[in-house]
């Protein structure tokens, strides 16, 4: 329990804080209209035309902050909140087009993330389950149970690696977003502060996800070490 308190609980609290931060930043800057009255679709079309990204398709998606770029179909999916004429919408749209620019140039970390997404999904869904099954099984058949638990840890490790590979992908997309918006004259100096606030808050959620995944992995390993 002590190990759980010093490893997992702080990471969970960090995650909750990061999620609150991104939501509050988005809500704040969603109330600030674009100086040029450009909605998310206007920003997308301008950047796509000027940045050589006209091949990207745009689709709407339900929910809030569910926006994402799909490299498989070269599709950018935008939620209703990102289609409004606000500073927050500009930040989100530019960020997703930052991923499209990465995809177009074959950005290494984006390719690396795409190559391990299947293993990461298996690790996320199955790794923890196998680990706990193994620990319970070890009460009756120690060697077999520990073997199953180790397999669970190995699978979960793929999910942890995925969260860390995601960091340079997201940071780089945010950097591209800032540069594209400034290069195309879509934001004022004051609006750029709002764009930075939204993008920086979003980046925290990925850092928190990586920290929580790593803390969980270390906790699993600590249990195995004690069992042995």
Element (H, E) at 60: strand 57-60
- As beta bridge partners, residue 188 has none
DSSP E strand boundaries for 47-193: 57-60, 68-70, 75-78
Q: Cα-flanking dihedrals φ and ψ of residue 30, to 5°?
A: -75, -15
Helix and strand totals (H; E) in the chain = 7, 3
Instruction: Mark residue 141 as left, alpha or beta (left: phi above 0; alpha: psi -120 to 50; beta: remaining).
Output: beta
- As beta bridge partners, residue 33 has 86
Q: Are 159 and 141 a contacting pair, CB within 8 Å?
A: no
Other residues' Cβ atoms within 10 Å of the Cβ of residue 227: 13
Task: Return the SS3 of 78.
Answer: strand
Task: Return the SS3 of 147.
Answer: helix
The active-site residue, picked from 27, 51, 59, 96, is: 96
Is 96 catalytic? The answer is: yes
Please enumerate in sequence order all residues whose Cβ is within 8 A of that of 48, keeping only pairs 6 or more positions apart, or say none.
54, 56, 97
Q: State the catalytic residues.
A: 96
């Amino acid at each position: 329990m002590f190990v759980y308190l010093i490893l997992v609980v702080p990471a969970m609290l960090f995650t909750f804080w990061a999620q609150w931060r991104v939501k509050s930043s988005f809500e704040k800057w969603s109330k600030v209209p674009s100086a040029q009255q450009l909605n998310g679709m206007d920003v997308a079309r301008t950047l796509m035309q000027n940045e050589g990204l006209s091949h990207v398709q745009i689709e709407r998606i339900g929910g809030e902050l569910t926006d994402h770029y799909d490299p498989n179909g070269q599709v950018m999916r935008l939620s209703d909140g990102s289609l409004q004429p606000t500073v927050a919408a500009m930040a989100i749209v530019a960020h997703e087009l930052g991923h499209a620019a990465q995809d177009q140039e074959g950005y290494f970390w984006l390719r690396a993330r795409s190559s391990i997404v299947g293993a990461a999904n298996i690790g996320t869904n199955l790794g923890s389950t196998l680990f706990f099954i193994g620990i319970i099984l070890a009460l009756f058949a120690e060697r077999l149970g520990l073997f199953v638990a180790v397999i669970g840890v190995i699978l979960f490790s793929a999910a942890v690696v995925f969260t860390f590979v995601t960091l340079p992908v997201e940071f780089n997309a945010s950097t591209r977003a800032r540069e594209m918006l400034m290069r195309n004259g879509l934001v004022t100096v004051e609006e750029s502060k709002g764009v930075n606030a939204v993008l920086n808050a979003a980046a925290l959620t990925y850092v928190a996800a990586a920290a929580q995944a790593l803390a969980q992995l270390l906790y699993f390993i600590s249990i195995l070490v004690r069992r042995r």
